Amino acid sequence: MTNSRTHLTGLFLAISSTLFASNAEAKAHETLIHEEEKEAAFNPAEVIMHHIADSHGWHLFDWNEQPVSIPLPVILYTEEGLVVFSSSEFHHDAEGHHVVEAGGQRFVNIHEKIYYASEEANEHGAYASMDHETHAVSNATPWDISITKNVAALLFSALVILLLFLPAARGYKKNPGVAPSGVAGFVEPLVVFVRDDIAKNNIGPHYKRFVPMLLTMFFFIWINNMLGLVPFFPGGANVTGNIAVTMVLAFITFVVTNVNGNKHYWGHIFWMPGLPVAVKPLLAIVEFIGIFTKPFSLMIRLFANITAGHIIVLSLVSLVFIFETVWVSPASVLLTLFISVLELLVAALQAYIFTLLTALYIGAAMHEEHH
């Protein structure tokens, strides 16, 4: 009873904020340490965090208490060059117990992060040296450019996008001047929407050059968001809910915005016109920080929204296992359905907001003075 109550509390924490992540990690560490004690208990936090986070190997389901996953290539850039091996060589181990020898070097997987393995196992059986208090691993790491689950999902979504748009574009070439049909009929209003409502309205007269970028951004985010909502194999990865992905996208916005900034833009940042000289340097500092906070908020917004969505859906799915009764399932299914539909909206909305704000920032950077 107390057990389920603590789980319930944890669940509400999960629903209320993404902050849950840190809790979950602490719990994941606990499970690492006290694995034997908790073996049988279902830990929703662990499951959710496992889903939210990236991993080597794509876990599909468990069969006879054995995890079944698609092995993915682990690609490491080490001091001795590139090392490639299959993720199946870790044998589903993410606690550092199993050492893989490849390219004359030894590697361990600790929480889906690859380290150079230590010579000896520590007291938890992990081939790594860990801090006793924080459990931080102090081993060195190679540059890890593995095809992880998220990378595989990313490549898959890129394929989906190409398969969606290239045939649509070919249709235009084949029958020019005809009303769009099939995929093109679905794609065209969206393309026109991005061009007119996002690019033209917010960037201004020189919008044309940014349309391809904005279109790619919009559909990249949207398709990835949508695939993340698919609960089984080719979907379900948390690509746009990974901060590395959103960071790259936000960085592109940052670069494009500042490269295209005209002298009014920089003038407004470093020497705001129409203000007393004493205030100007102060404002310059604030505005300068603003250059970075804008893309930073883009990065965090997308990441937090998508991750929170995944956490909520998974929490609701986990209800049955938390209460350990099948009678919860109607509520669980209905709530999951409701949130999933909401997430469909969020998927499109976040793609829209990201692209819209990017266009807005570019537009502000290129705005001509009209005094």
CA nearest 140: which of 148, 128, 153? 128
Of the pair 243, 328, the CB lying nearest another protein is at 243
Q: For residues 294 and 332, which CB has a smaller minimum distance to another protein in the complex?
A: 294
Residue 187 or 319: the one with the smaller Cβ distance to another protein is 187
Q: How far is the CB of 326 from another protein (least distance, A)?
A: 32
Q: How far is the CB of 336 from another protein (least distance, A)?
A: 22
Closer residue to another protein, CB minimum distance, 273 or 292: 292
Of the CA atoms within 13 Å of residue 92, those in its CB half-sphere come to 12
Query: Nearer Cβ to another protein, position 118 or 350?
Result: 350
What's the closest the beta carbon of residue 253 comes to another protein, in angstroms?
Answer: 12
Taking the complex as a whole, the smallest distance from the CB of residue 12 to another protein amounts, in Å, to: 11
Closest CB 236 distance from another protein, rounded Å = 16
C-beta of 240: minimal distance to another protein in Å? 10
Q: Which residue lies nearer to another protein by CB, 18 or 332?
A: 18
